[in-house]
Structure 1
């Protein structure tokens, strides 16, 4: 399991946007992923809670890590839907994703996103997405 987590962290490091945001992959097992992010002021919108784009980023990447770890091939997000449940207020965001079903070409995954504050964890968004296996690249 530790080798899979290290591989996932290497992949995350290769994503410039993820390193810019400060995302951390804290758990990766076949079909499961946890992505965390410290909620800095630059990631908040005008009312003081996390911008919806930040929550969408977490859902997108957590879903993809969960699906990719289940399928064990290079993958991309094919589509996802997110429902914002309440404002994300706190110091940290946690996205917990799991694979609902995985086949050879695609996986369907679910993600719960929590805001962490001094009161504990609060569910702030849920997402579901389809993760697709990448087609083999042709050598040029």
Structure 2
């Protein structure tokens, strides 16, 4: 495991909400991040698919990891998400990458897939602006 992935997993473990949901960081490298979330009944809304807030959370966190890979200690300044279909399946995968960055911000995009019977299907697409905070320590 890379030092960057190990550090990213420690940061994720320090996020109570991410721990509560069961989020897993599977890839964290310069300009790219992937988070996965096994879906549980308490992640679903009344129609039986993943709640939009859960999908949005995962996209936001993946965007922030991607931006953090180039800017260090960061937060999301803004984010937009388009839901493309109901997230019905066993797991969500959010793959984010840096589109462009400078010293004061990173623009990142993220595709969120739902996995059902081993097949990935796009269920949301997001874009966000990620900005550094604090002293820039490598803590996301």
Do they superpose with TM above 0.5?
yes
CA distance in 2, matches of 1:129, 1:113: 14
Name the structure 1 match of 2:131.
132
CA contact (8 A) 2:73 2:135 kept: no
Q: Does 1:80 align with 2:75?
A: no
Q: Secondary structure at the match of 2:66?
A: helix
Unaligned runs of 5+ in 1: none
Structure 1 runs (4+) greater than 6 angstroms displaced = none
TM-score by length of 1: 0.94
Name the structure 2 match of 1:29.
29
CA contact (8 A) 2:114 2:123 kept: yes
Q: Secondary structure at the match of 1:11?
A: helix
TM-score by length of 2: 0.94
- Residues 1-140 of structure 1 correspond to what in structure 2 (within 5 A)? 2-71=2-71, 73-118=72-117, 120-136=119-135
Cα deviations across residues 15-48 of structure 1 (Å, max 9, x unaligned)? 0000000000000000100000001000000000
CA distance in 2, matches of 1:84, 1:16: 26
CA distance in 1, matches of 2:135, 2:27: 27
Cα deviations across residues 29-70 of structure 1 (Å, max 9, x unaligned)? 001000000010000000000000000100110000000002
